[in-house]
Amino acid sequence: MRLKSTVVRQLLPLAPAGVVFLGLFVAPLAYFLVISFWSVRARIMRPDFTIANYVESWSRYGDVLLRTLLAATAIGLVTTLLAFGLAYAIRFKAGRLGPALLFVTLITLFGGYLVKIYAWKSILGRDGIINMALVGMGILDEPSPAFIYSTAGVVVTLTYFLLPFAVLPIYGALRSIDDATLEAARDLGARPFAVLRDIVVPQCLGGITAAFTMAFLISAGDYVTPRFVGGGAALMGNFIETQFSLGFNWPMGSAMSFTVLAASLLVVLAFRSLLRASFRP
Amino acid sequence: MGERNIDAATTLALRSSLSRRRAMAGLAAVGGIVALGGFPRSARASTTMTWMGWQGYETPILTGDFLEKNDIDFQPTFISSNEEIITKLQAGGIGNTDLITMYFGYLPLMAEGGLLEPIDPARISNFPDLIPQFTSQGSIRHQGQLMGVPWNWGSLPLMYDPAVVSAKPQSWLDILADEHKGKVAMVDDPLGNLLIWGTVVTGKEVGTLLTKEEMAKVIDQLIEIKTKHARAFFPTYGDMADAFARNEVTVSAIGWEAVAVWAAGKGKTIEYTIPKEGTGMFMDCLCIPKDCPHPDLAYGMIDHIVSPEPQRVFAEEQSAGITNLKTVPKLSPALAESYQYSDIDSFMKRARLQPVPPTEEGEYATYDDFLAEYQRLQKA
């Protein structure tokens, strides 16, 4: 009896967070999972149990799914690489400027997502800073249309947006590395690259995986940036949006969402395994 | 404005306020922002009425004393696209929304999807005064019942940059000339594209009623434009205006008079014309969503919006086309002329109101067929 009341007392403080988690995360997700097996007739959802929506998600949107995963993987890798470099510099190279650098990195989070998209539209456009600089330096004869309204534009914009999110977990992991270990390695004759490869990276695999996962998942689900910067480079999110609006087909949209989720999990797990295999401590 | 008997400068001036409205709507478009508030909420108002529509469309509601007289706390939700209303209604808006404004073409789908209440025209005193060419449209009825009350309209002309395009385009196909390669503006407006290119590709007057083969040909043509001629497939008309202003595009595969006004606001002169094949026309309707919480007040609000004075204020302030015939004599002559109220039939021969593809299988490709084909265009 006393054990029971102790357990209750320990769990009680978690109850509010649990209710919020269940109500705002688990319940909606469960609802969409259930209706993903339903069907639609005459624009109205009908309770059913069919896997037709999943079959169609793969058969009809397989090419878009692949394009989405490739774009998201590219964004995830570029973001993680840049974030690692930045976090490494803040942790080991910037000295007393480190906190200031970290602050500058994080302060970009205060800018709105859409404001950043529009800022990059201006930067990448025909009359943007990049084109003007390249023309001014004589590298281009006239402004290039290639920087915006392309998948490359989406990669650049999302990488910029996601960089602070990716820096945080990597920086957190790097902070926990004991300087004495690094000094010991150097004292024993390890070259800087060997220290990085054999000591630093293996000790922050969790942070790197978290950074990649965040950048990858947000990119795989995004449909606003491709619309505004991609110039027609539609990714899976855009087609899911169509099913939920014009298509009147929430079951199909839900099945497509879970398909992306499952495929994304596979990519994240593959990345994690690859990383661990490559940098085994 | 080409064939309309009004010069470009006058029309731009007339429609300048429209730019502000749509520019603000464009901001909402950016994020699908639900902009609530901004309207004084009366602490004593006994009834809260919720409304969904474009920013600026609330003008007639705020005109006069309808809200005060009925002790209403008016709560608008501004949209970035018509489709957003469909999504919001499906996602919990039913039972909580009193009134919406919707492109007429979507009414059959929404009615079939159980999103709308039928409207009794006898309860709208101004209904007999509305332009019959609009109220007689089949698409605003479902199984014989009225689903929406027409209240404003406009067209989808071809836009071009006169600084680059010396001769006014005569045909939509003129945009495929080599000189425009990579400089054609497209907008991701599914029905808008079909309204125009359905006619251009098939030669049929109604570009939305096509066989599956014809529908595929239309999408093939649009894919060719997108992949070989377009600068980009812009998400909104506001982005198209920006592209014109930045000299990224010279002609458009779809248009809207307002684009010229927005571009003018950025210092760029853009002109527009209705090519020989004609174009599509839009008409927005007032609809009562299913399980509307205050149906009597919703009827009252509809009647108020289509009454002469609120229609006049809306038309003049937003430079829009309106539907109450009793309002037309009250409009400034230039505005009335720009919308050719004196000969709407001939205007509607060049800019045609067209239904959405049918929902039932039959002679023509269905709406679902169209949507599947359109996604081919989005993928391309």
Q: pLDDT tens digit string along B79-92?
A: 767 777 887 887 78
| Confidence category of residue A252, pLDDT binned at 50, 70, 90 | very high
By DSSP bridging, strand B47-53 and strand B251-252 are unpaired
Q: Is residue B267 part of a domain?
A: yes
Decide if B361 touches A, using CB distance below 8 A.
Answer: no
Which is more confident, A164 or A113? A164
Instruction: Tell me the average pLDDT of chain A.
Output: 88
Which is more confident, A238 or A33? A33
Mean pLDDT across B150-176:
91
Q: Is residue B290 part of a domain?
A: yes
Are A125 and B248 inside 8 Å of each other by CB?
yes
Count up the domains in chain B and report the number.
2
Q: Is residue B1 part of a domain?
A: no
Lowest mean pLDDT among B274-278, B301-305, B347-351: B347-351
Are A228 and B239 inside 8 Å of each other by CB?
yes
| Confidence at residue A233, expressed as pLDDT on a 0 to 100 scale | 66
Residue B146: partners with Cβ closer than 8 Å, 6 or more residues away: B118, B119, B120, B121, B140
| Confidence at residue B333, expressed as pLDDT on a 0 to 100 scale | 87
Contacts of A125 in chain B (CB under 8 A): 246, 248
Mapping DSSP to helix (H, G, I), strand (E, B) and coil, where does residue A97 land?
helix
Residues B39 and B100 in one domain: yes
Contacts of A63 in chain B (CB under 8 A): 379
Taking 70 as the threshold, does the pLDDT of residue B18 lie above it?
no
Decide if B359 touches A, using CB distance below 8 A.
Answer: yes
Residues B139 and B20 in one domain: yes
pLDDT tens column, B360-379: 788 899 888 898 899 899 88
Lowest mean pLDDT among A8-12, A129-133, B40-44, B143-147: B40-44
Q: Is residue B3 part of a domain?
A: no
Quote the distance between the C-alpha of residue A280 and its chain's center: 24
Taking 60 as the threshold, does the pLDDT of residue B32 lie above it?
no
Partner-chain residue, chosen from B31, B113, B186, that has the shortest CB–CB distance to A114: B31
| Confidence at residue B311, expressed as pLDDT on a 0 to 100 scale | 95
| Confidence category of residue A45, pLDDT binned at 50, 70, 90 | confident
Residues B110 and B228 in one domain: no
CA pair distance B235, A238, nearest whole angstrom: 11
- Quick check: A91 and A174 in contact, CB under 8 A? yes
Partner-chain residue, chosen from B233, B246, B375, that has the shortest CB–CB distance to A127: B246
Chain A: residue whose CA lies nearest to B91: A244
Are A231 and B86 inside 8 Å of each other by CB?
no
Taking 80 as the threshold, does the pLDDT of residue A226 lie above it?
yes
Residues B245 and B366 in one domain: yes
Are A42 and B239 inside 8 Å of each other by CB?
no
Decide if B182 touches A, using CB distance below 8 A.
Answer: yes
| Confidence at residue A168, expressed as pLDDT on a 0 to 100 scale | 92
How close, in Å, is residue A168 to chain B by CA atoms? 26
pLDDT tens column, A228-250: 888 766 789 889 988 887 787 88
Structure tokens at A199: 């000591």
Q: Is residue B214 part of a domain?
A: yes
Residues B254 and B170 in one domain: yes
Decide if B248 touches A, using CB distance below 8 A.
Answer: yes
Structure tokens at B354: 């067209």
Quote the distance between the C-alpha of residue A206 and its chain's center: 15
pLDDT tens column, A53-81: 999 999 989 999 999 999 999 999 999 99
Instruction: Tell me the average pLDDT of chain B.
Output: 83
Nearest residue to A192 via CA among A86, A78, A93, A90: A93
CA pair distance B281, A221, nearest whole angstrom: 35
| Confidence category of residue A121, pLDDT binned at 50, 70, 90 | confident
Decide if B299 touches A, using CB distance below 8 A.
Answer: no
How close, in Å, is residue A6 to chain B by CA atoms? 41
| Confidence at residue B38, expressed as pLDDT on a 0 to 100 scale | 47
Residues B140 and B230 in one domain: no
Residues B231 and B272 in one domain: yes
| Confidence at residue A122, expressed as pLDDT on a 0 to 100 scale | 82
Mapping DSSP to helix (H, G, I), strand (E, B) and coil, where does residue B47 land?
strand
| CB-count exposure of residue A139 (10 Å: 0-12, 13-18, 19+) | exposed
Residue ranges in chain B assigned as alpha helix (H): 8-14, 16-31, 59-62, 66-69, 82-88, 107-112, 132-135, 190-202, 212-224, 237-245, 257-265, 295-305, 308-318, 333-338, 344-350, 367-379
Mean pLDDT across B196-209:
90
Are A44 and B375 inside 8 Å of each other by CB?
no
CATH of the domain at B64: 3.40.190.10
Q: Which residues of A touch B (CB under 8 A)?
A: 42-44, 63-64, 113-114, 117-118, 121, 125-127, 145, 148-149, 224, 227-228, 231-232, 234, 238-239, 242, 244-248, 250
Chain A: residue whose CA lies nearest to B226: A232
Q: Is residue B123 part of a domain?
A: yes
Quote the distance between the C-alpha of residue A57 and its chain's center: 22
DSSP B161: -
How close, in Å, is residue A88 to chain B by CA atoms? 35
Q: Report CA torsion sign: B10, B15, B20, B24.
A: negative
Decide if B231 touches A, using CB distance below 8 A.
Answer: yes
Q: Is residue B132 part of a domain?
A: yes
- Quick check: B149 and B141 in contact, CB under 8 A? no
The partner residues of B50 in beta bridges, in order of sequence, read: B75
Residues B196 and B276 in one domain: yes
| Confidence at residue B14, expressed as pLDDT on a 0 to 100 scale | 36
Are B233 and A232 inside 8 Å of each other by CB?
yes
Q: Report CA torsion sign: A220, A223, A228, A230.
A: positive
How close, in Å, is residue B127 to chain A by CA atoms? 29
Are B226 and A250 inside 8 Å of each other by CB?
no
Residues B109 and B70 in one domain: yes
H/E segment holding residue B158: strand B158-160
Lowest mean pLDDT among A17-26, A134-143, B257-266: B257-266
Domains and CATH numbers, chain A: 60-278 (1.10.3720.10)
Are A42 and B84 inside 8 Å of each other by CB?
no
Residues B144 and B22 in one domain: yes
How close, in Å, is residue B84 to chain A by CA atoms? 7
Residues B101 and B207 in one domain: no
CA pair distance B193, A4, nearest whole angstrom: 66
Partner-chain residue, chosen from B83, B232, B378, that has the shortest CB–CB distance to A234: B378
Contacts of A227 in chain B (CB under 8 A): 188, 235
Lowest mean pLDDT among A106-110, B94-98, B311-315: A106-110
CA pair distance A238, B80, nearest whole angstrom: 16
Domain range for residue B361? 155-280+356-379
Residues B25 and B107 in one domain: yes
